[in-house]
Chain A
Amino acid sequence: MRRAPLAAAAVAVVLGLSACTPDVPQVPPAPSPSQAAAVVDSQVERILPATFTELAAADAAKDATLLTERVGGDAKTIRGVEYKQEKVDAKLVPDVLPQDMQAVYVSGADIWPRTLVGVTAQPAEDVTPVVMVWVQDSVDHDYQLRTWSHMIPGATLPAMAGPATGAEQLLLDDPDMNPTPRAVLDDYITLLGEGSTSKLNDQFAPDTYREGIFTASTVLTKAAKKAKGTYKDTFAYDEANTYVMQTADGGALVFAPLDMTSTFTVKGAKVSIPAADKALQTGGKLTTKVVHTYRDMLVLYIPGPAVGTNPGVVAAEHTLVKVSPK
């Protein structure tokens, strides 16, 4: 009987303590990040300096093989070409790529590859800003500078989604776009092939890139005729390395590498090329035929449905990468 009060007290303690211990908290829903883009400022501040550091080292050594981690693809190829030409002609200095950025366009994609676009400050008074494109192939790869192109004089880049959401990456055949980026790009390539007399000329905003292509084509065609030869150029975009980012107005920016070949043939004569181009010559001596291979880069703006303007090239780069007899 004497144990009864003690037992009651023990039970009271146990019950009381079990009642005063709160339940284990359940995991709440995950909050949304304030910046949902794939890349935010803190990442840009690592990616861009690392790129320019590697680029500066390669520029100093004029050695494209030093471009490994942060610079690759067409950027590495074109930089290598520029180093070769500079060695032949010191006046042909590589493109100046400013580190100061006017704007950085970030992707909001959850998948790979992902793109990162920077628009630099103006390198010089007579040089337009440069649009630089970084690509991350997979989660285990770093963003790598793949290409760049100078803005078309007078062109304006559209507004893009900021780091809060990031710009959506679109497919070339995105069903929500009308016309699709692929259709617009195909039309532009067709326009380049048909020349200034093409019916498609009015469907695109004027740009100095195609004007230069058309002018060169006219001049070279005349020159070939004088030598009883021919001139022909072809264009094809590199679909595997073409990326599309949605703009804030519902349109798209298409970043499309372009392969252009111009074949110049004469009869009864021998073609010759400038010394700077000879540095890029491969495949033997030139005789009656010379093939120039260009690796171009187009940035094509397709306005959103409410904008009401024609698509147009807002940045382009035209780079000779190879000269060959065939």
Chain B
Amino acid sequence: MDARERRWLYVLIAVFVLVNVITLSPLVPWQKWLLWSNPEPQARFTVEFKDYTIQLPAGGIQASAGEFVEFTAHSADVTYGLGVFRKDGTMVFQIQVLPGHENRIVWKFDTPGSYDVRSTEYSGPQHSKMFYPDAIRVTQ
């Protein structure tokens, strides 16, 4: 290997280490609980997907800011996605909802307010209608 190639390889290695260390570290806030700890959730909610509808828990989803909440999603037919969005449309988190599997995620909401739920995976032409505004209410 030529000295110039070796120097370039060192640059590539440095970029690889830097980007991976930063993005796996708690500098990405949710890595704290998705990767580096296994927090006990203070609330648990089950969400059911079937025939292009999302069935939310009977009393709705209410959580407190700063507490850990576990979402478990089931699908009775095809693959869907459970996506949570802020009111300005930006995404908070998402998971795939595979039929025949228990799809779980633990999340911590930092900011009080209302959040929308939308299916994030294509499941057929009616998929775009799977939108539930203000499905989650997070209080102080």
Q: Do A and B form a real pair? A: no
Please give the residue numbers on chain A whose beta carbons come within 8 Å of chain B beta carbons, in ascending order. Answer: none
Please give the residue numbers on chain B whose beta carbons come within 8 Å of chain A beta carbons, in ascending order. Answer: none
